[in-house]
Chain A
């Protein structure tokens, strides 16, 4: 008999099990769901940024044939329980709590603020109904920038707060800030702005809520990054027990941090379903998605840098203001992470960090892929600006300032150990990849011909999940693993993939560890009745879920072998599982299919002395964890007559630990880089000073296309393993964190003959020409 050989999946670009349905139109997204009696929702939304609601008359809307119900903000207050946002409920920052109603009742606070919901036989009719709603407003002066919001004279958006401060000013110091600045050769000041832009998944927010009056229970078909957080949000708002709500999620068309918990609209839809006793579907359209779903990244930074004449970045003192929009979102949370991360992999000796969060009449600040990314933008911009002032090369200044990899590891001034960080290697390697000296020569020749090429690098680390370190915990991830009766190894995880390919990557790990073919593993997601608590976010799943899959598969295998030992009457230590068969070491002829073992276990013929329940509940604490990170490099050409920027070449050297599936890893990196290029060259969530929202269509909010994103060359560094088993680290957010400074650094380099200095992230063509003109005239 031929020798049974174990296949090895981990580390290979195994084809995705998701793709056959994706490629044939058989995916099941929320809008594909049709239930008997299902109705459709559309929202009446405020056209004003700030106003008092004087009256809401929906009688004409209610009378429209095909409209089944119209619920105003007041109606919804009467049928729901006041509750904090389910996602925010997980994080408390000790700030004040704004009081507001589920849909707007007394005030509207941003363009698009929902005021009423129309439920009709079709979305077409629901929108017709919305037009018939007659809402009278008393317009109030809008608060359209953080500076005004922090001014005590600005009209408070929330009566109970009295001002427009979402989180009061705080300051922390690390190291000897005063001494470092006093002793430094030079102290330089910058003001750096990051502009408002947003997630824009191709599928917007969507849900179908279906209330079963007989069971007094609800099923929610959701597009969400966590079925449990959504469930908790719906349960709390509807005032019912969590076990009366089942949240199901199938295929999800992207999220990037947007679809976590349950939005005000989704909660209104759930309440409407209960009220009507019929399923109600809401699928936000692109206008709603751009206007109302939430936006991100609008932060400003006053930065002081303490620098030596040789280019050492000794200290930073940073004051940031974050524009969190109107309704509480995650904006108050991220300054803490930015503070912790801003030293990056560098030898920074002192850090002062202050932050204030302002409330404005804009859509809420939501999590967007690498929400703390501005810390990398600020730091990598500052390094280039200092390099320019001192006449140093950008690669050189980074090499000078990177912390060496020591044992014990260097500590970031904010506490975490820089264990296993390969920043220096990534920087050196990316410079090799693009042949940095050759580019500098080419740049000189091009300038002589009136062409402006530039090169930029930026280095980052990401806590994906970060090292275990002295202050310990990385959190915990659960998974249930079960050998099904038909021999399938089923993994029940709270991870909720929306492009991350978990159904492939986790199966790879479990297949290898357990000893079955890849096709014999099924990853079960998206059912709050069935999967343990989980959230896909924070680039944690590679380590935490990969780790629990590995260790859980190992535990399950041990259990299965213990049972098989009874069947075969040998010692479990003499048994192996490979390629879907259990066999006695050294005796291939003994092989029994795993499916047969499973069938026997399920047959119920064993007494209490034999554990035939082939299932484990595994948890994983992250092991040693670890950093992800790397260095990216962009080469751009700027047309100085039109301001058009072309990214000619883009290279990334990444260290995300051991790779589960290289193609999946590279796809994540490239997608993040594309978003970073989009942020710099194309994307802006634009508000006018008068409160109007100006980027509500794809004609104005510009997404990067195939002609904007070049080939992205990626090399993976051989990582420093920290853990005996689990060295997978997350990679989902890194591209979006480091691409913006990479591209901006390249643009500034291209424009250096003009003396341009860049202190902002959004550089559309008109802005490029303004910067050149301003530098020309010596401003």
Chain B
């Protein structure tokens, strides 16, 4: 057991997880943030992706204790004032998802992508999301959602000028 303190979605949380508990399980079980999903537990499917200190990471490949002192953002932390962010809205408009199980991982990875590469094109998006597995959609609708979000962000930026 180790006492840890970390910031999740802007709020400070403390806990005493067993050392072997993954960040994914800590978020889900100890903090009741069940939006982050567990799909494989060996770092391949990407469903567990969250953002830690600004980088998208697989939360099943981090121990909870390793996140002590870090800033973590999960899918629950993206919605602005209970609404939807630009990416989420664009994915809704694009029918990006079906069963929804892979969704949090894709949303977090795409959030990181657009943050670093706001003008990513289709090829870049495909490569950036190639570590997230979806069984339902064949990916096209997800990519369209990301492209639409990028386009809308550009429009917003242009308006602000």
Chain A residues within 8 Å of B, Cβ to Cβ: 13, 15-16, 18-29, 31-32, 34, 124, 200-203, 251-254, 256, 285-286, 498-501, 663-664, 666-668, 670-675, 697-699, 703, 705-707, 709, 711-712
Contacts and interface: CB of A to CB of B under 8 A. Distances in A.
Q: A27, A200, A501: which has the most chain B beta carbons within 10 Å? A: A27
Contacts, number: 171
A11 to B, nearest CB: 15
Given A16-B95, A19-B92, A499-B99, A202 B140 contact: no
Contacts of A501: 98
B33 A25 contact: yes
Interface residues of B, number: 56
B112 to A, nearest CB: 15
Interface in B1-54: 18, 20-21, 28, 32-42, 44-45, 47
B135 A24 contact: no
Contacts of A27: 35, 100-101, 103
A671 B135 contact: yes
Contacts of B141: 663, 666-667, 670
B107 A23 contact: yes
Interface in B132-153: 132-143
B47 to A, nearest CB: 6
A24 B101 CA distance: 12
B74 interface: yes
Q: B18, B36, B103: which has the most chain A beta carbons within 10 Å? A: B103
A23 B92 contact: yes
Interface in B47-78: 47, 74-76, 78
A32 B34 contact: yes
A712 B32 CA distance: 38
B50 to A, nearest CB: 10
B115 interface: no
A663 B95 contact: yes
A671 B135 CA distance: 7
Interface of B: 18, 20-21, 28, 32-42, 44-45, 47, 74-76, 78-79, 84, 88, 91-93, 95, 97-104, 107, 125-127, 129-143
Given A15-B92, A31-B34, A699-B44, A674 B138 contact: yes
Given A23-B97, A24-B79, A712-B140, 14 more contacts: A13-B95, A16-B92, A18-B100, A23-B91, A25-B34, A29-B34, A202-B102, A251-B99, A251-B100, A499-B99, A667-B95, A674-B137, A709-B140, A712-B138
Q: B38, B40, B93: which has the most chain A beta carbons within 10 Å? A: B40
A202 B100 CA distance: 9
Contacts of A671: 98, 135-138
A707 B125 CA distance: 10
26 contacts: A13-B95, A15-B92, A20-B92, A22-B103, A24-B76, A25-B104, A26-B35, A31-B34, A201-B101, A202-B136, A203-B101, A253-B102, A285-B41, A286-B45, A498-B99, A500-B98, A663-B95, A663-B141, A667-B137, A670-B140, A671-B137, A698-B40, A705-B129, A705-B131, A705-B132, A706-B126
A24 B89 CA distance: 10
Contact of B75 (A24, A256, A285): A24
Contact of A254 (B18, B101, B104, B127): B101
Nearest to A663: B95
Contacts of B79: 24
Given A20-B84, A25-B36, A709 B42 contact: no
A686 to B, nearest CB: 17
Given A203-B39, A699-B44, A29 B101 contact: yes
Given A663-B141, A667-B141, A202 B99 contact: yes
B136 A499 contact: yes
Contact of B133 (A16, A251, A703): A703
A201 B99 contact: yes
A707 B140 contact: no
B139 A674 contact: yes
A712 to B, nearest CB: 6
A23 B136 CA distance: 15
Given A667-B136, A706-B130, A711-B140, A23 B40 contact: no
Contact of B138 (A286, A699, A709): A709
Q: Closest 4 interchain pairs by CB?
A: A25-B35, A253-B101, A670-B138, A22-B100
A557 B139 CA distance: 40
B40 A124 contact: no
A235 to B, nearest CB: 27
Contacts of B91: 19, 23
A661 to B, nearest CB: 8
A699 B42 contact: yes
Contacts of A672: 138
A665 B135 CA distance: 16
Given A706-B130, A706-B143, A19 B97 contact: yes
Given A203-B99, A675-B135, A124 B42 contact: no
Nearest to B40: A286
Q: B79, B97, B125, B130: which has the most chain A beta carbons within 10 Å? A: B97
Q: A253, A664, A712: which has the most chain B beta carbons within 10 Å? A: A253
A24 B138 contact: no
A25 B53 CA distance: 20
B138 A673 contact: yes
Contacts of A673: 138
A709 B76 CA distance: 29
A24 B126 CA distance: 22
A709 B135 contact: no
B44 A698 contact: yes
Contacts of B37: 29, 31, 202-203, 253
A495 to B, nearest CB: 14
Given A251-B99, A286-B42, A202 B47 contact: yes
Nearest to B141: A667
Contacts of A667: 95, 98, 136-138, 141
A711 B99 CA distance: 20
A92 B140 CA distance: 40
A709 B126 CA distance: 10
B139 A709 contact: yes
Nearest to B105: A202
Contacts of B39: 202-203, 286
Contacts of A202: 37, 39, 45, 47, 99, 101-102, 133-136
